[in-house]
Amino acid sequence: MAFSPSNEIRVDLSGQSAIVTGASQGLGRAIALRLGENGAHVACVARNPEKLTETVGVITAAGGSALAISCDVKDRNSVEAVVDQVSERWERVDILVNNAGITRDTLLPRMSDEEWDEVIETNLRGAFLFTRAASRLMMRARYGRIINMASVSGIMGNPGQTNYSASKAGLIGLTRSLSRELASRKVTINAIAPGFIASEMTEALGDAVLQEVEKRVPARRLGKAEEVADAVLYLSSVSAGYITGQVLVIDGGLTG
């Protein structure tokens, strides 16, 4: 009998609630859809309410439960209001995926203070604010799953992305340190470091650049958003309870 691999994994998240930042497009959208498909109530968070509505519509049309919440992840009051709203609506916060992120690429000598600050505040401060607010509830419940979306840029660096690489390296440090604080409360925190994943961001690089990227990747292709979403799904599950403080690299062998 020929082996026919399944296209996706399944996890029972029925009754659990999740917050996914940056859920309006790309990886965040794929993650929100995957959690919703597997039974979680999903709070889809981003700045663009129109795109969030589309993500929520897909989840609810398939019989899932989702909520669109517009939020500036850099603002402490807005972040805490989101966590409070989710907790009140679904009486718990079980899963937090810190995916919201931006790039402002340029070489360091030309990088402005604003380009540095905006990337650090969105990518790193935003994750800190959401993690602090959600972890308080998780510790009281003695259960939680936090997944931070890092990047191979935070491991190996990338020319023209000093601000982005620093923010993603910071996420890895946050993950490893906080895992030691939360483990005794049965709250896990892990990071995923994607390489080149097909998305709106990589499409902007153009065909010529993408062809060169594919040559550099041993797998000879870009990753799929769904492949990253499946990793998030597993780390969100009860089965991943003994995995914490880790960085899962999904890059087709790019970093070796």
Q: Which residues are catalytic?
A: 164
| DSSP H helices in the chain | 26-37, 49-61, 76-90, 113-120, 126-141, 153-156, 162-182, 200-203, 207-216, 225-235
Encoded amino acid at 184, one letter: S
Q: Please name the residues in contact with 49: beta carbons below 8 A apart, sequence gap of 6 or more.
A: 68, 70
* 69-75-76 Cα angle (round to 5): 95
Please give the Cα distance from 212 to 105 (Å, whole number). 19
Burial class (CB in 10 A: 0-12, 13-18, 19+), 12: exposed
The CA–CA distances, whole Å, from 164 to 108, 117, 157 equal 11, 10, 9
Q: Please name the residues in contact with 119: beta carbons below 8 A apart, sequence gap of 6 or more.
A: 102, 103, 104, 163, 164, 167
Give the other-Cβ count within 10 Å of 111's Cβ. Answer: 16
Map residue 63 onto helix, strand or coil: coil
> First and final CA of the chain: distance in angstroms?
34
Encoded amino acid at 4, one letter: S
